[in-house]
């Protein structure tokens, strides 16, 4: 077919496309704006697709928690509790909290990468609920937190842990953990918008997380600590969350710790979520 014949063949198609576009533009029908939930779920699915294309990022929610649990159980179990099995009963709920909290910091890292690449500049032009890109990413991270928790519980049962609270207690503990983790992740979204590079976000995250995790009741009972340190540990949100999870999984009374966790979740979301959206609207 010659060039002239190709031009004549393409002309009707181009004309039809132009007519269809003109008809669409002149139409009085306006597409309905997507709701906040649908756009948030769409961005959540976008974040989940990253796992499909880069599955090695699941290392921090599968292999790393297992290594940490095995290491601390067998290193400290005999010295602190007399046996690894007894120490595991005390340690596992706290290790689940610690592992999930360590995972939350990657929320800020991923956000910082997207912002620096200009991805969020494109999202801003869309007629959608403005926070949906951030909320969607946090919802996708809940799947990662759940994976880490399931891995930890499965490993714990293999090592001899038993939850006296039964399935209901375990499910309630995980639900409370996911709620707090969602709220706590807003801290890292704030740092993701404030810092200039992903390495800076990681450095700041480690500087905050390690003292917060180790000055808690994850590894030892605060009763053995000096008074000044014990006072700091007892007001820590990590301590409240660990107490709540231990109580729910053991089937004991946890009204106080659960109340504190719910209060911390509301405060973290209100403060850091508000600051994040202010930075988001100003920066992008």
- Taking the C-alpha atoms of residue 270 and residue 262, their distance in angstroms, rounded to an integer, is 12
* Cβ within 8 Å of residue 83, ≥6 positions away: 77
Q: Is 196 exposed, middle or buried (0-12, 13-18, 19+ CB in 10 A)?
A: exposed
184 closest CA partner among 242, 130, 105, 275: 105
Length of the chain: 284
Q: Locate tokens 């704030």: which residue?
A: 190
pLDDT surpassing 80 at residue 81: no
Averaged over 120-134, what is the pLDDT? 77
264 closest CA partner among 146, 148, 181: 181
The pTM is what? 0.80
Averaged over 260-283, what is the pLDDT? 88
- Taking the C-alpha atoms of residue 280 and residue 284, their distance in angstroms, rounded to an integer, is 6
The one-character DSSP state at 269 is I
- If one counts every other C-beta atom within 10 angstroms of the C-beta of residue 107, the result is 28
Averaged over 196-224, what is the pLDDT? 85
- Taking the C-alpha atoms of residue 254 and residue 128, their distance in angstroms, rounded to an integer, is 40
- Taking the C-alpha atoms of residue 25 and residue 34, their distance in angstroms, rounded to an integer, is 20
Averaged over 120-137, what is the pLDDT? 79
pLDDT in tens, 143-173: 888 888 888 899 888 888 888 888 999 999 9
Residue 219 three-state SS:
coil
The tokens describing 165, both together, are: 């609270």
Averaged over 57-85, what is the pLDDT? 80
The tokens describing 23, both together, are: 């008809």
CA atoms within 13 A on the CB side of 66: 13
87 closest CA partner among 75, 70, 68, 73: 73
Show the CA angle centred on residue 262, arms to residues 91 and 73, nearest 5°: 5
Is the Cα torsion angle 75, 81, 82, 87 positive or negative in sign?
negative
Averaged over 270-281, what is the pLDDT? 87
- Measured in whole angstroms, the distance separating CA 139 from the mean position of its chain's CA atoms is 7
- The backbone region for 160, taken as left when phi is positive above 0, alpha when psi lies in -120 to 50, beta otherwise, is left
- The domain segmentation of the chain, as residue ranges, is 34-283
User: Helix axis angle, 84-116 relative to 59-81, nearest 10°?
Assistant: 150
pLDDT in tens, 178-188: 999 999 999 98
Q: In terms of pLDDT, which residue wins out, 255 or 61?
A: 255
**Is residue 201 within 8 Å of residue 188, measured between CB atoms?**
yes
pLDDT surpassing 90 at residue 267: yes
146 closest CA partner among 272, 51, 79: 51
């Amino acid at each position: 077919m010659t060039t002239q014949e190709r031009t004549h063949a393409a002309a009707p198609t181009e004309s039809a496309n132009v007519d269809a576009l003109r008809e669409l533009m002149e139409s009085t029908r306006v597409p309905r704006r997507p709701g906040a939930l649908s756009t948030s779920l769409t961005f959540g699915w976008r974040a989940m697709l990253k796992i499909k294309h880069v599955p090695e990022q699941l290392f921090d929610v599968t292999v790393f928690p297992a290594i940490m649990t095995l290491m601390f159980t067998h290193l400290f179990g005999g010295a602190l509790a007399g046996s690894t099995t007894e120490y595991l009963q005390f340690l596992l709920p706290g290790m689940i909290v610690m592992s999930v909290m360590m995972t939350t910091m990657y929320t800020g890292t991923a956000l910082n990468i997207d912002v620096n690449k200009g991805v969020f500049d494109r999202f801003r032009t869309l007629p959608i609920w403005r926070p949906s890109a951030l909320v969607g990413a946090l919802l996708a991270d809940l799947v990662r937190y759940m994976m880490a928790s399931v891995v930890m519980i499965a490993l714990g049962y293999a090592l001899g842990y038993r939850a006296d609270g039964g399935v209901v207690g375990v499910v309630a503990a995980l639900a409370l953990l996911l709620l707090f983790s969602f709220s706590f992740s807003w801290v890292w979204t704030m740092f993701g918008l404030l810092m200039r590079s992903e390495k800076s976000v990681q450095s700041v995250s480690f500087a905050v997380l390690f003292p917060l995790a180790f000055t808690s009741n994850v590894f030892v009972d605060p009763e053995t600590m000096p008074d000044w340190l014990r006072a700091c540990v007892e007001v820590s949100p990590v301590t409240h969350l660990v107490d709540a999870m231990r109580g729910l999984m053991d089937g004991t009374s946890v009204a106080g710790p659960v109340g504190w966790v719910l209060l911390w979740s509301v405060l973290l979301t209100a403060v850091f979520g508000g600051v994040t959206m202010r930075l988001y609207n100003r920066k992008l």
